[in-house]
Structure 1
């Protein structure tokens, strides 16, 4: 059993890694920076630590952070990191606020704004688009679970299907099935747009009839026993 225990250096790395995760909310409250910046700081500390404790040991290079990162989906991680950094930069520069002000001044209601966001998601991936929308409108403008955010979630999630390049799944479909853009546009885009428009119409109809849509599991009668 003694041989199965974690080595002291392993315990150190595990403890520092766990501490880095716990430190993220503290970092956020102390600096006001986004949580992912705290995660990157923790990763940097782990990187330095593993390089230091395994310095000069060629047979233990696989235990260093660079080797660990080589075994994960680095491209996906960098994609989302780039999105977060870009959106934060636009928000800090005030560009997202200017866009929201322009939309509010030129588009008469929030339903049209959410619908327009869904149409744009057919060209731009919905992840950066929703992240940008969250930077444009804060919870003081539209509270959590408000009609606007529900409609944005639907529109951004389904609007990307109108063009094959609008979602990661569509791009993967192009590669796997050798489908080109124009085939998808002729065969699928019209149906996808019809479903998109029908979904918006159905949602607005439900809202106009003042039906209460559950936003948590506890509000679903089946789970509450009522």
Structure 2
């Protein structure tokens, strides 16, 4: 335990050091102001007490975010507080300079951006949780486990499925699903579990990079209108290279022998599972079509699909056989079930029906609230003038290519959500291929370290003691090779 805490402390210190190094470059670069829109001019407050205080608050808040693993303080809590304090300082700073309008306009613009992403993610998470409740993923896992594949076959099957499921179901859900399969069949094969988990993390992150639905960062790029839906698929081959290069190298240490495991209880898909999958695919199709043809925000299609899903949930609650508990009530709080009677004592008959609002409750609210804090923190620093300076420092001094490569490496240490939102807020002058490049590097760069992506962090918790930061670090050289070759592949296929 002590060693694990030390590892996370080291990563936290490294992340903060990199952040401070970047900000120090900004602090000593000549400041310049840039426009929020055509009518509102931002004031440069980078070299004032308001700017310094905001930077300090952001860094302190992010230290707590990075320390979540051993403080047990959810990452959304410190970052939301930091966001509020930063915007308070921004408002005071602008008011001191005689401007009481721009800060309010800027924060409302950020809140609107967040609202669209929040509703989109809430709808997507509800669909995924609904499929999980209907045992869609459990049925797939059971089928894989009971087929008696060899360890090497399971290694490639789980990696392939992770790569192709994550563009639809998001990389975090995909990693947890495939990780459960690896743990179920390989609990006595430590080396297999280790490389199997690494393979899943790399595959899920790579698969999520060529789809707007595969990762929050790609969703942000699509929602911002920087790239069109079909343009993301130009990253398919580079993403495939990013996964296959380390996957082939790691497969050499996986045994071909069949796994020794106890067959788990078979789980079948519940009624409505296939219908929900079709509804999800139709919802995605509607979102993409209305955005491409009518230029309507994708969130409109997703929320409409969520409404249809809720109506279908009502149908299930009325037609699915009810569950009646007789006698002692020891599980009346079971997930996704609504209590239909008053409880009097411990010996009461309880009728329980499916309730879709219980599914909505299971959305990752910490992630959604964390995203709020990130959007507003980055927006506040942008309004102070820091992101304009950072953009000038990175893209002006290093050039677009090296800046995009460096941003991908930074996303392995700093969460890729704030990294990508910062890039979108900077809005550097880049062509389509250059935006594809930064989308790729930010999406797959998190695979370099186990703590660089939500998928890696989740699997470390799922496979405690087996898949660790150090076990992942041993293969970082292979992942880095895949990272470099994926960039070269992108440059070769899509151009500079």
CA pair 203-68 structure 1, distance change in 2 beyond 3 A: closer
Structure 1 residue 72: deviation in Å? 4.3
Structure 1 residue 115: deviation in Å? 0.5
Structure 1 residue 117: deviation in Å? 0.5
SS at match of 2:412: coil
2:383, 2:468 → 1: CA distance? Answer: 38
1:203, 1:69 → 2: CA distance? Answer: 38
Q: Answer yes or no: is 1:75 the counterpart of 2:366.
A: yes
Match of 2:412 in 1: 122
CA pair 71-105 structure 1, distance change in 2 beyond 3 A: closer
The aligned runs of 1:55-66 (5 Å cut-off) are none
2:110, 2:389 → 1: CA distance? Answer: 25
The aligned runs of 1:1-226 (5 Å cut-off) are 31=105, 33-34=108-109, 36-37=111-112, 39=115, 72-107=363-398, 109-138=399-428, 141-142=429-430, 146-178=432-464, 179-186=467-474, 188-208=475-495
Question: What do the CA deviations read for 1:171-203 (whole angstroms, capped 9, x no partner)?
Answer: 0011111222111101x2111111110000111
1:202, 1:195 → 2: CA distance? Answer: 10
1:68, 1:202 → 2: CA distance? Answer: 41
* Number of equivalent positions: 149
Structure 1 residue 90: deviation in Å? 1.2
Structure 1 residue 35: deviation in Å? 5.9
Structure 1 residue 69: deviation in Å? 9.0
SS at match of 1:142: coil
Q: Which runs of 4+ in 1 moved over 4 A?
A: 37-40, 67-72
SS at match of 1:153: helix
SS at match of 2:430: coil
Question: What do the CA deviations read for 1:23-69 (whole angstroms, capped 9, x no partner)?
Answer: xxxxxxxx5632634849xxxxxxxxxxxxxxxxxx9xxxxxxx999
- Greater RCO structure (CA 8 Å; 6+ sep): 2
CA pair 176-68 structure 1, distance change in 2 beyond 3 A: closer
2:483, 2:359 → 1: CA distance? Answer: 42
2:430, 2:403 → 1: CA distance? Answer: 13
- Output the aligned Cα RMSD: 2.8
2:477, 2:363 → 1: CA distance? Answer: 38
1:91, 1:69 → 2: CA distance? Answer: 33
- Greater helix share, 1 or 2? 1
Structure 1 residue 137: deviation in Å? 2.0
SS at match of 1:173: helix
CA pair 119-84 structure 1, distance change in 2 beyond 3 A: same
1:168, 1:201 → 2: CA distance? Answer: 26
CA pair 100-35 structure 1, distance change in 2 beyond 3 A: closer
Structure 1 residue 207: deviation in Å? 3.6
Structure 1 residue 73: deviation in Å? 2.9
Q: Structure 2: which 5+ residue stretches go unaligned?
A: 1-104, 117-341, 343-357
